[in-house]
Amino acid sequence: MSEVTTTAHVQTDGSIVFNRSQDTSEILEENKRERIENEYNKKSFGRKVASIPNIVLIEWHKEGIDYMKYGVCPETTKEIKKRLNSPDWRMLRTSNTRI
C-alpha cells in the first residue's frame, strides 16, 4: 500500500498550503479482484467487505467521520455503512453484499 504524502507550497502572500495525496490504484485494483472472488462467499461470518485507503479516511475525518468510532458510535457506524453501500463508493468494497 502506498503511503500518504504531504507537500507544502508557499503562496505568493507568504502563506503555506499543505496537500496530501496517495496513489490508490493498487488498493482499488485489489478491491475489484476481491469483489469478483468473493461473489460466491456472500454469507461468510467475519468476511472482509472493504479496504479504504488512508487518504479517504483522512478526508472523511475532515467531514466529521471518525472511522475509529465504527461499531461504537451509532451515528458514525450508520454513516460509514451508508457510504460503503452507496454506488459512489463501490470501489472501496471487496464484497457485493450490503453491509
pTM over 0.85: no
Identity of the amino acid at 46: G
Whole-number pLDDT of residue 1: 58
Contact 95, 48 (CB under 8 A): yes
Helix (H, G, I), strand (E, B) or coil at 17: strand
Q: Domain coordinates of the chain in residue numbers?
A: 28-92
Cα angle 77, 79, 80 (rounded to 5 degrees) comes to 65
Q: pLDDT tens, 31-53? A: 999 998 877 666 666 778 899 99
Q: Which three cell numbers stand for residue 53?
A: 485507503
